[in-house]
Structure 1
Amino acid sequence: MNITQEKTGNLNAVVKIKIAPADYTEKVDKAIKEQAKKAQLPGFRKGMVPPSHIKRMYGKSILVEEVNNLLNDTLTNYIAEQKLEILGQPLPQMDDSKNFKWDNTDDFEFDYELGLVPAFDVNISSKDKFTQYVIKADKETLESRIKNIRRSYGKMTNPEVSAADDVLYADLTQLSPDGSVFEGGIASTATIRLDQIKDQEILKSLIGLKKDNEVTIDIQKALEDAALIAKALNIPEEDAAELKSNFKLVVKNVNRLEESDLNQEFFDKLFGEGTVTNEAGFRAKITEEVEGMFKQDAERQLSNDIYEQLLQKHNFELPDEFLRRWLKATNEKLTDEELAEGYDDFAKNLKWTLIENKIIKDNSIEIKYEDVVQAAKAKLDAQFRMYSPSPLPEDQLAQYAVQFLQEKENANRTFEEVKALKTFEQIKSIVTLEEKEIDYDKFIALDKK
């Protein structure tokens, strides 16, 4: 067997693999004998089929399989031994001039194109400056969060007249363009949350209603969401997206979730017995929680700023033409238009991955299983706290985390998140971070610039 490598550009190479009969004959003969032992053919007892018969019937397909296996193993080992850093996978070069007989006498030659990782250094220092925002909780956000928490621990009542945050339990009946009931049309009993009504005129018409009152609404204008419309009318979402009719809404009941009183029982349910004893302490805790969520937003902004600035600073080339061919070869449904539209983003993310990998390697950063478990626990804890500020018991949270990571996709995604986090922590330990306090509304406006 003969393997050679030829550089065809700064970031491209071709590996040529020449295989003689001596390289594959023994493997093919062994595969034929093993097949003969397992074969069940008419006229032969199991395990007694002559190898010559198997060779005559299946010899060519066995030869093809063994040569392919030999090629894959040889190429993989060569890349590892030569310590070649490649992008994507090797692409076989098609050559119609090579006509093999596949009769166990061929000298084969196969060529594979490689896309090589560019050589570059990551240059980061204290001269690289970034703004680390400290976001303060504004009154509107704080009051909204307090209201949601109080309602989560409140009680359900049935007021006589509807108000803006109530839920209507109502019959919905499809109408014809002339306003009459559409014969054979959609009829449903649904719960309509008034805080989900988008159109202000429609919302106004639903406030002040009593049991048995009826109004006509344009359900598309009211909800502006196919999923919500489908749920309300009990129809498929694709049908809901196309629906244009008005509906008669008849109130059957008005439901209201009253806010919990700000008393010691409420405080103890939220934070544990005696942790908070008055409204001021409660508001301080909620402010801390809200600003903790804002801190995550600030970290995302900082990470994005680092991402963009370091990509501009490390503007190395990629084997673009090879990568385009590789993307097409490995994604059969990918159209030329989709490739043209999406390639720049793909290349940008690939460059960042290479920068990230180099930082990990140069600084000997380890990603341990315990790190991944802790990240899963933090993610799940944050999800549960969206519904209640009270933390889950540690043993229960750990159990949920283990179950979460048993899904391969969850485990891979969490691993990548930990990898990214460790990379950014390393970067932040080197660059200069300048703190800046900012109101939440002004921070949100940053994304719109």
Structure 2
Amino acid sequence: MNITRENIDALNAVVKVDIVKEDYNDKVEKILVDYKKTANIPGFRKGHVPMGMVKKQYGKAVLVDEVNKLLQDALNKYLTEEKIDVLGQPLPKQQDEINWDSDSFSFEFELGLAPEFSVDLNSKKAITHYNIVADDKMIDEQIERIQNQYGKITSETEVKKDSEITGTFKNEDKEIDNTVTITLDKFKGKATEKKFIGAKPGDVITLKTKGLYEDDHELMNALKIQHDDAHGLDIEVTFTINEVNSREAADLDQELFDKLFGKDVVKSASELKAKIKEDAEKQFVQQSDQKLLNDVTEHLVDNTKFDLPAEFLTKWMQVAGEKEMDEATAKEEYEKSEKSLRYQLIEGKLMQDNDLKVDFEDVKTNAKNMIKMQMAQFGQLNPSEKELDDIAARVLGNQDEVRRISEQVVSQKLLDLYKEKANIKAKEMSYDAFVKEVYGDKA
């Protein structure tokens, strides 16, 4: 067997594999001898079929199968030994009908080669890493929500200024039918509030959606509609009042603190504020880190320049899936996936250059930490190692879960790398300010 490579350019090559009779003959002969022992051909006893007849009936099929196996094994071994980094899979070149009566065969494969490039983490323009803090306003609002949530509810016969009103928004044309609990202070205009004051359970109030709330996101939640549908929505909806309640806020006492955090974990209003601040900012770290990861990823894709074998990859995508695509569809799919492919290559380069690896212990540790967090949510704060190992073993028995957790581990390793080596500037702000700066009106 002889394998040669011709580089067309930096991103494309053709590999030629020449196979001669000596490469496959012994294997083919052995298989045919085995067939001879078991062949069931009318007129001959089992095991006594002439070899000539066996070859005539099975020889070509066995030859084709063995040559294809040999070809794939040889090609994979060659790519590994030569350390050729390919994109997609080798594509067999079109050739005239193969003469399987010949003793030797030649096959050619097109290769799409991975580009050579470097990744510079130390960009000229610094990337912002937000330090999100829970300000007094947020903490006070959270305490107020807690007091209301655990407060005493009293049923009322009519709506007052501070009532909680449970009812259903409806509009048949837009298929709106959503039951919510609202308070009058959320509405934008005093005219809307006046419509509700004095209303009773069973009353139906007609409202205009335009200008109903100060923020369209409030409207989106109230009507349970899509984000884009809420902006500029100008229709009439009805609100049928189901219940009217008043709520007396719970006292900030030890009974409430124990309900929230367990006995004597929090012992005063000031400790409650500190605990709420701590818990909120832990959650903010996840959002801040995800934002940083997204921003660095975006920066690297936009600023790490290299070419791809686009023509080869488009051709490969035509035949790689379960169903073949036509050329136009494959081109469209390639264009959609190009950015993702670029980042996969950048990610691989960063992992290689910085000796970042993900092994099974990393995946197992991550899975156990995830399980501990989930168990803590249900009050199981101190699970044993055996318990965690047993649950992790069941989780990691699912390959989809292994893949998902592995991706999380990779993301965390890259995030740590970015924090260490990328040009990052810290910026402290409240959560509301973060949402406004990062998402604008799309939060």
Residues 124-167 of structure 1 deviation map (CA, whole Å, 9 limit, x = unaligned)? 44867332211122566546655666677779886656897665
Mapping 1:116-155, distance limit 5 Å: 116-125=113-122, 129-138=126-135, 142=139, 145-146=142-143
Which of 393, 412, 423 is matched with 2:414 structurally?
Answer: 423
- Say whether residues 1:412 and 2:413 are aligned partners: no
Match of 1:179 in 2: none
Give the count of matched residue pairs.
411
- Say whether residues 1:6 and 2:3 are aligned partners: no
Q: Please state how far the C-alpha of 1:442 moved relative to its aligned partner.
A: 2.8
Q: Please state how far the C-alpha of 1:411 moved relative to its aligned partner.
A: 1.0
Match of 1:365 in 2: 356
Match of 2:383 in 1: 394
Alignment root-mean-square deviation, CA? 4.5
Tell me which amino acid in the other structure corresponds to 1:135: I
SS at match of 1:194: strand
Residues 6-62 of structure 1 deviation map (CA, whole Å, 9 limit, x = unaligned)? 001111110001112222222222333444556666677777766655443333332
The separation in 2 between residues aligned to 1:438 and 1:173, in whole angstroms, is 39
The separation in 2 between residues aligned to 1:253 and 1:326, in whole angstroms, is 62
- Say whether residues 1:22 and 2:22 are aligned partners: yes
Tell me which amino acid in the other structure corresponds to 1:280: S
Cα distance change, pair 20–288 in 1 and its aligned pair in 2 (3 A): same
The separation in 2 between residues aligned to 1:22 and 1:329, in whole angstroms, is 32
The separation in 2 between residues aligned to 1:294 and 1:209, in whole angstroms, is 41
SS at match of 1:275: coil
Residues 90-125 of structure 1 deviation map (CA, whole Å, 9 limit, x = unaligned)? 111112xx222323x342211111111122233344
Match of 1:192 in 2: 179
Mapping 1:206-225, distance limit 5 Å: 223-225=223-225
- Say whether residues 1:440 and 2:401 are aligned partners: no
Of stretches 430-439 and 397-406 in structure 1, the one that deviates more from structure 2 is 397-406
- Say whether residues 1:304 and 2:302 are aligned partners: no
The separation in 1 between residues aligned to 2:83 and 2:406, in whole angstroms, is 25
Q: Please state how far the C-alpha of 1:328 moved relative to its aligned partner.
A: 2.0
Mapping 1:7-406, distance limit 5 Å: 7-36=7-36, 52-95=52-95, 98-103=96-101, 105-125=102-122, 129-138=126-135, 142=139, 145-146=142-143, 192-194=179-181, 223-225=223-225, 262-331=252-321, 332=323, 339-344=330-335, 346-379=337-370, 388=377, 392-395=381-384, 399-406=390-397
SS at match of 1:393: coil
Instruction: Say whether the 8 Å CA contact 1:20–1:108 is kept in structure 2.
Output: yes
Q: Please state how far the C-alpha of 1:437 moved relative to its aligned partner.
A: 1.0
Cα distance change, pair 336–167 in 1 and its aligned pair in 2 (3 A): farther
Cα distance change, pair 436–211 in 1 and its aligned pair in 2 (3 A): closer
SS at match of 1:6: strand
SS at match of 1:277: coil
SS at match of 1:304: helix
Percent of paired sites with the same residue: 35
The separation in 2 between residues aligned to 1:336 and 1:165, in whole angstroms, is 60
Instruction: Say whether the 8 Å CA contact 1:100–1:106 is kept in structure 2.
Output: no
Tell me which amino acid in the other structure corresponds to 2:117: F
Instruction: Say whether the 8 Å CA contact 2:165–2:181 is kept in structure 1.
Output: yes
Query: Where do 5+ consecutive residues of structure 2 fail to align?
Result: 209-218, 227-235
Tell me which amino acid in the other structure corresponds to 1:309: H
The separation in 2 between residues aligned to 1:158 and 1:397, in whole angstroms, is 46
Cα distance change, pair 249–291 in 1 and its aligned pair in 2 (3 A): closer
SS at match of 1:299: helix
The separation in 2 between residues aligned to 1:42 and 1:208, in whole angstroms, is 97
Residues 228-268 of structure 1 deviation map (CA, whole Å, 9 limit, x = unaligned)? xxxxxxxxxxxxxxxxxx99998777799997664434433
Query: Where do 5+ consecutive residues of structure 1 fail to align?
Result: 177-185, 227-245
Instruction: Say whether the 8 Å CA contact 1:156–1:258 is kept in structure 2.
Output: yes
Cα distance change, pair 76–159 in 1 and its aligned pair in 2 (3 A): farther
The separation in 1 between residues aligned to 2:30 and 2:247, in whole angstroms, is 76
SS at match of 2:421: coil
Tell me which amino acid in the other structure corresponds to 1:192: T
Of stretches 346-355 and 204-213 in structure 1, the one that deviates more from structure 2 is 204-213
Cα distance change, pair 352–164 in 1 and its aligned pair in 2 (3 A): farther
Q: Please state how far the C-alpha of 1:292 moved relative to its aligned partner.
A: 1.6
The separation in 2 between residues aligned to 1:174 and 1:311, in whole angstroms, is 45
Of stretches 260-269 and 58-67 in structure 1, the one that deviates more from structure 2 is 260-269
Q: Please state how far the C-alpha of 1:71 moved relative to its aligned partner.
A: 1.0
Cα distance change, pair 212–359 in 1 and its aligned pair in 2 (3 A): closer
The separation in 2 between residues aligned to 1:335 and 1:281, in whole angstroms, is 65
SS at match of 2:88: strand
Instruction: Say whether the 8 Å CA contact 2:314–2:327 is kept in structure 1.
Output: no
The separation in 2 between residues aligned to 1:106 and 1:164, in whole angstroms, is 91
Q: Please state how far the C-alpha of 1:298 moved relative to its aligned partner.
A: 1.4
Instruction: Say whether the 8 Å CA contact 2:313–2:334 is kept in structure 1.
Output: no
Q: What is the TM-score with the length of structure 1 in the denominator?
A: 0.73
The separation in 1 between residues aligned to 2:53 and 2:66, in whole angstroms, is 18
Instruction: Say whether the 8 Å CA contact 1:128–1:431 is kept in structure 2.
Output: no
